[in-house]
């Protein structure tokens, strides 16, 4: 297929290249696997690489809109793609300034009960407005997509599931205990997970950056880790190291309170791991054969796992399932078609 060169401005990944967040991994793969597109990226955090097309967003919505508007005009950007729900108001400003805007909603913030009710209502309103006014609105999770398509039947919304690069599972010695891969934040249920591992006396290794938004939460997590005999924080790892690290374990846990479509779960399944997942619709809809579900609001880790032989067999079934249903090439093709509809 012959491609016209697209110029895409991607807004919203926290960092680039990615560490653990699903949003930045998704944006990274779109950049990496769309060589026919010219990609420009604006990140929330200071970029970890020096690249003339990778920049840090300024603070404040009007400063951001002014900066992105000028950048898009200077670089003849075709489409602005916002990769985060909280940037919907920014996207509306850019639409008003004449830019074609796509937003991908990786998970609805208003579903998180930790936010005050009026904040949740505000985020819900953002999603409704995005569905009505953005050039295209994309959901990665079926649960969210189905809800808004029913609420707004006169708009054609899109469901484009996250995909991963499926690589051969790595062999080698496996260690006991659990691994959790992802940002240590309230929505990832980090505090309950640490408490549950300590109560069950289960070894748990955490990989990922500490939350930057809530200092009191971060301090609490650091204090709990210092006291725990069973839970260790192993720090951040680079994206290319993820398969190698996952391959050292048999079992992964994701006790998140909310998800869009959890990339880290798919990465673990692709390496043949057994899964312990919070019982939420975005996990159920993956239909992974080798997993058990736990209540994220009353998390307990005692007596969850089958015997080691069954873990190996079910992990292999997970790998086969991800290979068949979540290959990133399907995701890339869907976004390419969506972009070209707008030109």
CATH number of the domain where residue 237 is located = 3.40.50.2000
Q: What is the pLDDT of residue 205?
A: 97
Average pLDDT of every residue of the chain: 92
Same domain, 99 and 190: no
Residue 308 structural domain: 175-325
Same domain, 43 and 129: yes
Same domain, 122 and 227: no
Same domain, 183 and 147: no
Alpha helices in the chain (DSSP H): 22-32, 61-74, 88-96, 117-133, 142-151, 190-200, 215-227, 242-246, 263-270, 281-284, 308-325, 328-341
Same domain, 88 and 199: no
Q: Flag whether pLDDT at 198 surpasses 80.
A: yes
**Using 50, 70 and 90 to split pLDDT, how confident is the model at 3?**
low
Residues 37-46 have pLDDT tens digits of: 999 999 998 8
Q: Flag whether pLDDT at 2 surpasses 60.
A: no
Residue 234: phi and psi, rounded to 5, are -95, 5
**Residue 158 located in a structural domain:** yes
Q: Please give the distance of CA 71 from its chain centroid, rounded to a whole number.
A: 26
Same domain, 273 and 262: yes
Kindly give the interhelix angle for 88-96 and 117-133, rounded to the nearest 10 degrees.
40
Residues 207-218 have pLDDT tens digits of: 998 887 788 999
When pLDDT is averaged across residues 316-338 and rounded to a whole number, the result is: 94
Residue 50 contacts residue 21 (beta carbons within 8 Å): no
Same domain, 183 and 69: no
Sheet strand arrangement including 158-159 = 54-56, 37-43, 6-11, 79-82, 101-105, 136-139, 158-159
Residues 278-290 have pLDDT tens digits of: 999 999 999 999 9
Number of structural domains found in the chain: 2
More confident of the two residues 166 and 262:
262
Residues 17-33 have pLDDT tens digits of: 887 677 888 899 999 99
Can you tell me the distance from the alpha carbon of 272 to that of 172, in angstroms, rounded to the nearest whole number? 12
Q: What is the pLDDT of residue 147?
A: 96
Same domain, 308 and 331: no
Q: What is the pLDDT of residue 112?
A: 80
Residues 333-342 have pLDDT tens digits of: 999 999 999 9
Q: 323: helix, coil or strand?
A: helix
**Using 50, 70 and 90 to split pLDDT, how confident is the model at 113?**
confident
Same domain, 140 and 187: no
**Residue 59 located in a structural domain:** yes
**Residue 216 located in a structural domain:** yes
Cβ neighbors of 199 (< 8 A, separation 6 or more) are 300, 301, 302
Same domain, 13 and 158: yes
Query: pLDDT > 70: what percent of the chain?
Result: 98
When pLDDT is averaged across residues 108-118 and rounded to a whole number, the result is: 85
Same domain, 149 and 29: yes
């Amino acid at each position: 297929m012959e491609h016209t060169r697209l110029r895409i401005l991607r807004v919203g990944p926290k960092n680039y290249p990615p560490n653990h967040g699903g949003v930045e991994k998704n944006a990274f793969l779109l950049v990496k696997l769309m060589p026919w597109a010219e990609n420009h990226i604006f990140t929330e955090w200071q970029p970890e690489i020096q690249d003339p097309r990778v920049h840090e967003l300024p603070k404040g919505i009007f400063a951001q809109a002014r900066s992105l508007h000028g950048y898009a005009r200077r670089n003849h950007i075709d489409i602005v793609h916002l990769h985060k729900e909280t940037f919907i108001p920014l996207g509306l400003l850019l639409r008003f300034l004449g830019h074609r805007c796509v937003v991908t909603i990786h998970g609805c913030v208003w579903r998180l009960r930790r936010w005050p009710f009026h904040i949740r209502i505000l985020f819900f309103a953002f999603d409704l407005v995005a569905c009505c006014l953005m050039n295209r609105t994309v959901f990665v999770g079926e649960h969210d997509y189905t809800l808004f398509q029913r609420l707004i039947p006169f708009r054609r919304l899109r469901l484009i599931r996250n995909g991963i690069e499926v690589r051969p599972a790595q062999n080698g010695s496996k260690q006991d205990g659990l691994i959790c891969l992802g940002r240590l934040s309230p929505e990832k249920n980090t505090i309950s997970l640490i408490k549950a591992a300590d109560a069950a006396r289960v070894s748990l290794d955490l990989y990922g950056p500490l939350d930057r938004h809530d200092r009191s939460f971060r301090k609490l997590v650091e204090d709990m880790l210092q006291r725990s005999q069973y839970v260790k924080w192993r720090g951040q790892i680079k994206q290319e190291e993820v398969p190698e690290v996952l391959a050292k374990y048999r079992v992964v846990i994701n006790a998140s309170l909310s998800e869009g479509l959890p990339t880290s779960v798919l990465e673990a399944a692709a390496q043949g791991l057994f899964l312990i997942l919070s019982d939420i619709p975005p996990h159920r809809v993956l239909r992974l054969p080798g997993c058990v579900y736990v209540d994220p609001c009353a998390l307990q880790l005692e007596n969850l796992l089958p015997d080691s032989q069954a873990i190996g067999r079910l992990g292999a079934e997970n790998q086969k399932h991800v290979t068949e249903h979540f290959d990133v090439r399907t995701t890339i093709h869907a976004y390419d078609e969506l972009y070209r509809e707008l030109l």
